[in-house]
Amino acid sequence: MIKKLIKFNNFLFLLKLVSFLNKFISLQEVRTKKEKRVFTKIWYNIWLQEGYATSKESIIEKKRRYENFSRDFLIKFLNFSIGTIRIIHNNNEIGLPITNNFKLQKNFKNEKIIELSLFSIIRFFRFFHIISLITMKKIYQLLKKENIPDFLAAIDQKLLLFLKEKVGIPLHQVGQEKIYEGSLTYPIYLNLKEAEEFGKQKNYQLYKFFII
């Protein structure tokens, strides 16, 4: 029944389902060595499962390069860790992964901007991207609280189509897509204020979901 409703783009039903599950999902900032091990284990195993990396690659060292400029979060379902997401702050020392690996149409070097990275969810919990949408709401609220106006992200084609075409989030592609870490990946940008205005005018139910 759920599959049928979502197949026919019953967006209001999707938002009701997401709103119900929202109270069971939280972001927990990684602060201890134990939490860091859990964080790394989750995203690394998912990278291997999805073919984003191989065990022969030094992918962990590659990601560790940005740790001094990052805040890591575990995505929790009740008390269970089911995913990860990293916020990397723009910096002049090593830059951002997206600016270092993609040809972008704009120079973000001196802007107060962050990159969302290492966004991963254990396969069992990926039903219809619902957890992805809830996580985006949690990140939106965090960025608003900290007065960060916009973000960059490198996301794969499936997630881009869901967020932009199905949900209606006004993501902007800011560079050429390419095969990156095993999948076709798009560099995208979102300004939070623009997204809020878009939601008010074009999709008030989505706007209401994010701000409440």
Element spanning 82, H or E: strand 80-89
Residue 2: what pLDDT? 32
Q: d(Cα 166, Cα 129) in Å, to the nearest integer?
A: 11
Asked whether 138 and 119 are in contact (CB, 8 A), the reply is no
Which 3 state secondary structure label does DSSP give 85? strand
| Per-residue tokens: 64 | 């560790």
Per-residue pLDDT of the chain (212 residues; tens, 9 = 90+): 333 333 335 677 878 888 899 999 999 999 999 999 999 999 999 999 998 888 877 899 999 999 999 999 999 999 999 999 999 999 999 999 999 999 999 999 888 999 999 999 999 998 868 898 999 999 999 999 999 999 999 999 988 988 888 888 999 999 999 999 989 999 999 999 999 999 999 888 889 889 87
Element spanning 117, H or E: strand 114-121
| Per-residue tokens: 137 | 């709401």
Q: d(Cα 181, Cα 50) in Å, to the nearest integer?
A: 10
Give the Å distances, CA to CA, from 30 to 71, 87, 145, 153, 184.
7, 12, 19, 20, 29
Number of domains within the chain: 1
Name which of 100, 96, 106, 84 is nearest 37 in CA terms: 84
Asked whether 154 and 185 are in contact (CB, 8 A), the reply is yes
The CATH number assigned to the domain holding 45 equals: 3.40.630.30
Residue 13: what pLDDT? 80
Give every CB contact of residue 31 below 8 A, 6+ residues apart in sequence. none
Residue 192: what pLDDT? 95
Q: Domain span at residue 10?
A: 2-211
Q: d(Cα 147, Cα 125) in Å, to the nearest integer?
A: 30
Q: Tell me: the pLDDT tens digits for 32-75?
A: 999 999 999 999 999 999 988 888 778 999 999 999 999 999 99
Residue 203: what pLDDT? 86
